[in-house]
A = this chain, B = another copy of it.
Amino acid sequence: MALQDAILAALADGSESSGYDLAKAFDYAVANFWTATPAQLYRELEKMQDEGLVAARVVAQEKRPNKRLLSLTKAGRKALHEFTTRDPKPTAIRDELLIQVDAMEHGDLASVKAHIEARLAIAEQKLAYYKKSRERSLDGCSEEDFLVEEERVGPYLTLLRGISFEQENIRWAKLALKVLAKREAARR
Contacts and interface: CB of A to CB of B under 8 A. Distances in A.
Interface stretch (A39-47, A61-69, A133-141, A178-186): A178-186
Given A90-B28, A94-B2, A99 B9 contact: yes
Q: Which of the listed residues A6, A92, A97, A98 has the most CB atoms from chain B within 10 Å of its own CB?
A: A98
A29 B92 CA distance: 10
A158 B122 contact: no
Contact of A154 (B92, B105, B154): B105
Interface in A71-127: 77, 80-81, 83-85, 87-108, 111-112, 115, 118-119, 122
11 contacts: A9-B102, A9-B106, A13-B106, A34-B93, A81-B107, A85-B108, A87-B115, A88-B96, A89-B96, A92-B93, A164-B171
